[in-house]
Amino acid sequence: MADQQAQTALETRPPALPALRWDEPPEGPVVVLLDQTRLPAEEVELVCTDVPALVEAIQRLAVRGAPLLGVAGAYGVALAAARGYDVPEASALLAGARPTAVNLGYGVRRVAAAHRAAAEKGADQGGAAASALAEARALHREDAEASAAMAGHGLALLDELLPGGGHRVLTHCNTGALVSGGEGTAFAVALAAHRKGRLRRLWVDETRPLLQGARLTTYEAARNGMAYTLLTDNAAGSLFAAGEVDAVLIGADRIAADGSVANKVGSYPLAVLARYHHVPFIVVAPVSTIDPDTPDGASIEIEQRPGQEVTELTAPPQIATGAPGAVSGLPVAPLGTQAYNPAFDVTPPELVTAIVTERGAVSPVTGPAIAELCARSRQV
């Protein structure tokens, strides 16, 4: 079934533009984003000259995905410092832009701390701003290095769990170069398998309602010449039942101290399906996604999104022109219909086969194993 739908004319082209970059034109420093609401139709850059513009871009998902939100938060603080804005105020705005991905607050806090430390040591505004930018750049670089390490650990685990090779991997949401300074998390593992000739098929959940799978993961898979097939989220059950899935690979927005995993809504049902069908369910995320201060899944704040994302059909350019957090599109439900639209769900640790990070993997996933992982030094 899968192979009948193999793509033709496979080609290898990484994303045309970086997901995020710092720039210093004559008018002053800016954070430049590849506007993900416009993909795959258009590759358009969005230039943020101030923190409110970046916050708006985060809220309407022009920039998104946990690791990249960390990078965006980091450069956002650097931008505030470079332009002479109030850094604590800018940090609070940025950290509060979206609640679930812990990386956002991590990036913000880390660069704000570097800025504060420089100021406390007597640096002037320019010097403190330079320290903030250096820290943001370091975080960006580390994220790229973490991606490469996760890809290696993840592929080794896949090969161990599925010794036959020819992996058919199901993924959800978007976890590639669009969410990272490198090649991403779960997607980076699939890409590593593809490069070694061991990826038979990447099954891509469309990921309702904002279609990160349909719009973004397919974009990345096509550009990398991977054999992929798109499915509606609710077709996953029949795909498992047909024996077409060897492993599930997903990312994470926050991993609690007990190993509970918050990720894009629809991940938890995949974990239940995977368990029923005896298929490994693997989470790939950098250590910065683990939050030791969140004890368990119930303590993870889940972002609730506007109901129109469900009651209306949305198209990327329409999303792009909406107000922060708002969308406009073709109504698919009667006016006034209420919608349940959480952005994420939580998978309990007992349904997770393994968590793969840049410091290696843990399996089974337990609180003590997570604590031990956080204490590990990096394995490469």
Q: Which residues line the annotated binding site for substrate?
A: 64-66, 98, 212, 263-264
Q: Is residue 175 close enough to count as binding ligand MRU by CB under 6 A?
A: yes
Residues annotated catalytic, as ranges: 253
Q: Is residue 179 close enough to count as binding ligand MRU by CB under 6 A?
A: yes
Is residue 167 within 8 A of residue 198, CB to CB? The reply is yes
Please, which residues have CB within 8 angstroms of residue 28's CB and are 6 or more apart in sequence?
A: 49, 82, 83
Report the 3 state secondary structure along 204-225. EECCCCCCHHHHHHHHHHHHCC
Tell me how far apart the alpha carbons of residues 57 and 46 are, in angstroms, rounded to a whole number: 9
Measured in degrees and rounded to the nearest 5, phi and psi for residue 274 equal: -60, -45
Q: How many residues does the chain have?
A: 380
Q: How far is the CB of 341 from ligand MRU (least distance, A)?
A: 11
Size of the site for ligand MRU (CB under 6 A): 18
Is residue 49 within 8 A of residue 60, CB to CB? The reply is no
The single residue among 64, 167, 198, 254 that binds ligand MRU, judged by CB under 6 A, is: 64
Alpha-carbon Rg for the chain in angstroms: 20
Pairing label, strands 360-362, 290-291: unpaired
Q: How far is the CB of 284 from ligand MRU (least distance, A)?
A: 7
Interface region with ligand MRU, contact rule CB under 6 A, candidates 136-144, 161-169, 239-247, 251-259:
251-259
Q: Is residue 213 close enough to count as binding ligand MRU by CB under 6 A?
A: no
Instruction: Name the binding residues.
Output: 64-66, 98, 212, 263-264
Measured from the CB atom, is 210 or 373 closer to ligand MRU?
Answer: 210
DSSP string computed for 110-167? HHHHHHHHHHHTT--HHHHHHHHHHHHHHHHHHHHHHHHHHHHHHHHHHHHH-TT--E
Question: Where does the chain have alpha helices with state H?
Answer: 51-59, 66-82, 87-95, 102-120, 125-161, 186-195, 218-223, 236-241, 267-276, 308-311, 316-321, 367-375
Interface region with ligand MRU, contact rule CB under 6 A, candidates 43-51, 147-155, 236-244, 250-258:
250-258
Q: Which amino acid makes up residue 178?
A: L
The single residue among 212, 217, 260, 294 that binds ligand MRU, judged by CB under 6 A, is: 212
* Cα distances (angstroms) measured from residue 114 to each of 22, 77, 119, 132, 236: 18, 10, 9, 6, 45
Q: How far is the CB of 86 from ligand MRU (least distance, A)?
A: 27
Q: Is residue 254 close enough to count as binding ligand MRU by CB under 6 A?
A: no
The binding track of 321-350 with respect to ligand MRU, each residue x by CB under 6 A or -, is ----------------------x-------
Q: Is residue 252 close enough to count as binding ligand MRU by CB under 6 A?
A: yes
Q: Is residue 314 close enough to count as binding ligand MRU by CB under 6 A?
A: no
Q: How far is the CB of 370 from ligand MRU (least distance, A)?
A: 17
Q: Is residue 67 close enough to count as binding ligand MRU by CB under 6 A?
A: yes
Q: Is residue 280 close enough to count as binding ligand MRU by CB under 6 A?
A: no
Q: How far is the CB of 343 from ligand MRU (least distance, A)?
A: 5
For binding to ligand MRU (CB under 6 A), which residues are involved?
61, 64-67, 101, 173, 175, 179, 184-185, 212, 251-253, 263-264, 343
